[in-house]
Amino acid sequence: MAHGRLHNKVAFITGGGSGIGEATALRFAEEGAHVVVCGRRLEPLAQVVARIEAAGGQARAMQVDVSDEAALTSAIEKTATELGGLDILVNNAMAYSWGTIDATSTADWHSNFATSVDGTFWGTRAAMKRMKSKGGSIINVSSICGLLGTHSMAGYSAAKAAIINFSRAAAAEGASNGIRVNVVIPAVVETPATAGMLSDAGARQNTEKLIPMGRVGQPRELANAILFLASDESSYVTGAALPVDGGRSAVLTTAL
């Protein structure tokens, strides 16, 4: 673990208590990073930290609501101060509302942006200030909903689309200081957020029919892509938006 791809790197991961965030934290720790996971609920974060420490890694948990500007900024500042810097930020936390446009209140519409877009902006801003002296890598997590329209998820789709283009602008600004900003774009991944849908055999089968590889993604598969973008192996990659979706976004239809 001491000589991994992220040896001696400090990584801050939002939404780190489950799903893609959890898998990324575990993967980063395996590669030698000192990982800080943040989220609204402390218990799942503590469990992630315990798993990392049991395997010989370094981690800590910070209870933070990513939609709270002051709390998120303070957590990133504290991490950088106490751990001697910040090398990697993963903006993974998200929240969404469900419903048709005509039934969506303004408050519900805004709720899609508070965590996903505002949180990504606040986190990126804080990280870029800390990374100016020695560079770093920021990875933002979007969604296939940010590429393709999704019925009853207009707010979430708009927010995830915003993340993709915000990241391009951030990449343009950060490049001169050695700060790389990239995006991963998952489709359906087997996480607690999708468990309800995927537990229905019919719904799962219909979902998998739309994916050329014929199956939903696993959190670790997303974590591996995020690891690549966090590591020096992607040293000439910035402003990229990488689909990690089994081919879903590449096709109009799949073979029957």
Q: Greatest CA separation found in the chain?
A: 55
Spatial distance between the Cα atoms of 4 and 102, rounded to a whole number of angstroms: 51
Amino acid of residue 36: V
Within its chain, how far is the Cα of 144 from the centroid?
Answer: 13
Is 71 exposed, middle or buried, given 0-12, 13-18 or 19+ CB atoms closer than 10 A? middle
> What one-character DSSP code corresponds to residue 256?
-
Of the candidates 64, 56, 83, which has an alpha carbon nearest to the alpha carbon of residue 16? 64
Query: CA nearest 142: which of 114, 171, 120, 170?
Result: 120
The one catalytic residue among 112, 156, 170, 223 = 156
In the residue annotation, 156 being an active-site residue is answered as yes
Q: Which residue has the tokens 């948990």?
A: 61
Q: Which CA distances in Å does 135 have to 5, 9, 59, 92, 177?
A: 16, 12, 22, 20, 6
Residue whose C-alpha is closest to residue 65's, from 93, 106, 91: 93
Question: What positions carry a catalytic annotation?
Answer: 156
